[in-house]
Amino acid sequence: MAEFERLSRDLVHKGAIIDYYKDTVKVPNGNVVKWDYIDHKGAAAVVPVTDDGKILMVKQYRNALNRETLEIPAGGLNGADEPTLDAAARELREETGYVSNDLELLITIRTTVAFCNEKIDIYVAKNLVKSEQDLDEDEFIDVYPMEIAELEEMIYSGKMEDSKTISAILAYKNKYCKN
């Protein structure tokens, strides 16, 4: 593999969720280029499966898209050292109002490798027990139990675009829904 050398990484903006940097990189032909880099603290998500096989989906407003989306529950880590299993369990309770002691790692994804290091560990939660939602003051979330077939139709018709949710649904179907 050709040699790349990062010469510098300069902080442009420190945000609540991400930090934005401008990297200076020497590429294999000797040229020096500037690349954007976004540092993300990491996240966890969960596919909550009810006893009858439905997946609990959350509908919430997403500012970047200026619309509501249907997604699996997810959220950022409270710190770089927070175990993603703990974060997934927290997001399950906060967003859906359910808890589970039966969480298993399904997949790990990197959302946008061209310019961001965001890593999301996605878990499957079974044996759900009803608790209470505990939403942040800026969260307004509705919960919908849905069949895998409904979700798959939404993926392939273009109605669902969230990459973590699409990855999670298809990985869950492939691993757990054998025909």
Amino acid at 108: T
Q: Which of 5, 91, 137, 150 is catalytic?
A: 137
Burial of 91 from C-beta contacts in 10 A (0-12 / 13-18 / 19+): buried
Catalytic annotation on 95?
no
Kindly report the number of other CB atoms within 10 A of residue 152's CB atom: 16
43 SS3 class = strand
Structural contact between residues 75 and 87, judged by C-beta atoms closer than 8 angstroms: yes
Catalytic residues: 137
